Amino acid sequence: MGQLEGALAVVTGGSQGIGYAIAERFVAEGADVVITGRRKDVLDGAVAALGPRVTGVPGDAASLDDLDTLMATVAGLGRPVDVLVANAGGGGEAPLAQMTPELFDAVTDLNIRGTFFTVQKALPLLAEAARVVLVSSISGSNGDPDHATYNASKAAVRSFARTMTNDLRGRAIRVNALSPGPTMSAGFSDFVGGEEGVRRIAAAVPLGRIGAPAEVAAAALFLASTESSFVAGTELVVDGGMSQV
């Protein structure tokens, strides 16, 4: 029997990358999973690959209307949500002097506003003692140049795990943050400048390599299962020691 046998899980941004790996692991552990994605073609492909226990709902976590559509779909399943993973995030960046209000809003709307309202709108659907996993990043704790907005947005996600744990203590709902480091998901190599960028970053990781999405998914499973039954309000860092030593 899997660690999530019979559970209903919702994973935003679950059509590719880390979100897809989390959905894939949850299905392998016995869960029924609802995933979202902004690109319907990619979402449809993910649902086909993950199998009949996965439902796809197109949508953007930065859109409150799309979040309402997601929750209406989940409510229509007629069962409470045992696990919510607010994974959708990302956004562009610009140096401090070149940051525009439009780009600033796009990043914070997705990472801060989207994460907050994903949880808020799911509240009526969450089971007692549900598990909520907020996907942050080690960027929330560092000062990488030219990434001020993204870094701050991920720090906010980590902060949500603390406050929401207190806000939801009456329902015994555990909220934790999951903070990946460099992870070889789709587009990572291009994002860091190709093979040379990958080698440079890998050299900065004490374990000497880039992480795999499945490794982040394993950490998400821990936070989503009863194995972490006395873990709440914390941050689980999955970065090969990069930000820790």
Just list the catalytic residues. Answer: 150
| DSSP state letters, 60-108 | -TT-HHHHHHHHHHHHTT-S-EEEEEE---------GGG--HHHHHHHH
Question: Length of the chain in residues, anyone?
Answer: 245
Largest CA distance in the chain: 54
Q: How far is CA 161 from CA 85, 135, 176, 195, 216, in A?
A: 12, 10, 5, 35, 18
3-class secondary structure, 239 = coil
Q: Identify the residue whose tokens are 């859109």.
A: 63
